[in-house]
Amino acid sequence: MRYKKESFGESSFKESSFVSVNERAGRMSSGNQYRDANAWIEALDLILSYSAEYVLPGHTKPLIGRENVEEVLTNFRDAIEYVLNETLQGMNNGLTADELAASIKLPKKFAKLLYLGEFYGGVAWSVRSIFNGYV
């Protein structure tokens, strides 16, 4: 069996300069139940498509300024996508969840960003969650 990213579907939200984010619907690394990483990536892409000047996340400080919103959300999306892609590649190469959790680390460009810190779980938890969600 080969593992690949799955789509969570299209949405029909209107463009807005203000976005409120319910992170419980998508936080991948919260340390509890599985949340589809690809759905979170697509949700971030949707939020990015709004060109919002303000984003009010549920668990962190507000993002203010269109450039800041774009930078932070793009980094979140890219970091989640990196972990998802690395996990799926490892699964396709026959690695176990424990092997993947021990070997997958965020690239330095993401690891150095404080807002991508491992506060409610982390990369290893996310890798195991993706692995179990796909198996």
Strands (E), 14-109: 18-21, 54-57, 63-64
Taking the C-alpha atoms of residue 130 and residue 63, their distance in angstroms, rounded to an integer, is 27
pLDDT tens-digit profile, the chain (135 residues)? 555 555 544 443 444 444 545 443 333 444 456 678 999 999 999 999 999 999 998 878 899 999 999 999 999 999 999 999 999 999 999 999 999 999 999 999 999 999 888 776 789 999 999 999 988
Residue 113, both tokens: 């960003």
Could you state, in order of their start, the residue ranges of all structural domains in the chain? 18-134
Task: Locate all alpha helices (DSSP H) within the chain, ordered by sequence.
Answer: 37-49, 66-92, 97-103, 108-111, 123-134
pTM of the model: 0.78
